[in-house]
Amino acid sequence: MASEITYAEVKFKNASPAAVVEVPPEMKKHEHHPQKYPPWLPWLISLLLVLVCIALVIVLLVMTPFTHITDQPTSLQQKFMEWWCISAVPQDKGRGWMCCPRGWKRFQGSCYYLSDDMMGWAESKQNCTEMGSHLVVINSEAEQDFLTKDLKQSSKGKNYYIGLSAQKVGQWQWVDQTPLNEAAAFWRTNEPSNVDAEMCVVIHAIPVIDNWNDARCERHYRICEAAAVTV
């Protein structure tokens, strides 16, 4: 006897569409887009170049007068930025300008600073040193006459320290360690007193060339001196 065949109806759902394969971003080709710059960029670059050129010119103008002085600038040069210069010799003869810091006075080969404040002797000496100078050392009648006339203009009655003092009564010595040359001393009448209490020397601002006093080492004005810078 033949076996029975049973049929069953099977329905399949529609297959899903083919899967889309995603390509990783790094696998994609980079599209080339031309880089665009803002229209004002060239102007900005030009402006910066002009400013750099101006700065270089200013530096050259400021530094040129001192480029041929010495390889090692003096202490005075290192302390001051503003100078005034006077022609000393014809410029075709080489170095022909003598320069002092602005506000200082020049006489022959030196620059002089007359203070407008008062200090004790030790402070006055240190102040001059810090400016690249020293308390004035007077070597000639011409130099003494210059200082006397300069003080006469605006400093009547004031006392100004010079670089002369004594460690022992009567043994006067300049700050550069040279002893006083009595032939180039300009004491006032009846001075120096040569007493223990008066071991420092001042110029008393009066219109006569003999105007030195020995005085107490207290608060007075001061005169600093430094060699003029030659260019």
At 70, the amino acid letter reads T
- Residue 40, pLDDT score: 73
Q: What share of the chain is helix, strand, coil (3-state, %, to 5)?
A: 30, 25, 50
> What per-residue string of b and e applies to 23-60 under the rule 16 or more CB within 10 Å gives b?
eeeeeeeeeeeeeeeeeeeeeeeeeeeeeeeeeeeeee
Backbone angles phi, psi at 123, to 5 degrees: -65, -40
Predicted pLDDT at 216: 96
CA distance 193 to 171: 12
| Closest of 143, 142, 135, 110 to residue 221, by C-alpha | 135
What 3-state class would DSSP assign to 29? Answer: coil
Structure token digits, residue 15: 């297959």
Identify the CA nearest to 193 among candidates 202, 183, 184. Answer: 202
Q: Tokens 């006392």 correspond to what residue?
A: 159
> What is the architecture, at CATH level 2, of domain 70-230?
Roll (3.10)
DSSP state letter for 6: -
Which pTM was predicted? 0.65
Cβ–Cβ under 8 Å, residues 134 and 224? yes
- Of 190, 192, 181, nearest in space to 215 by CA: 192
Q: 50 φ, ψ to 5°? A: -65, -45
Kindly list the domain boundaries of the chain, sorted by start residue.
Answer: 38-67, 70-230
At 217, list the tokens. Answer: 């080492």
Joined together, the tokens standing for residue 113 give 């600073």
Q: What pLDDT, on a 0 to 100 scale, did the predictor assign at position 1?
A: 43
Q: What is the pLDDT along the chain (231 residues), one digit of tens a residue?
A: 444 444 334 343 444 444 444 545 554 454 555 556 677 777 788 888 888 878 876 655 544 444 444 445 677 878 888 888 888 665 555 557 889 999 999 999 999 999 999 999 999 999 999 999 999 999 999 999 999 998 887 666 799 999 999 999 999 999 999 999 988 999 999 999 999 999 999 999 998 999 999 999 999 999 999 999 887
Q: How confident is the model at residue 68, as a pLDDT?
A: 42
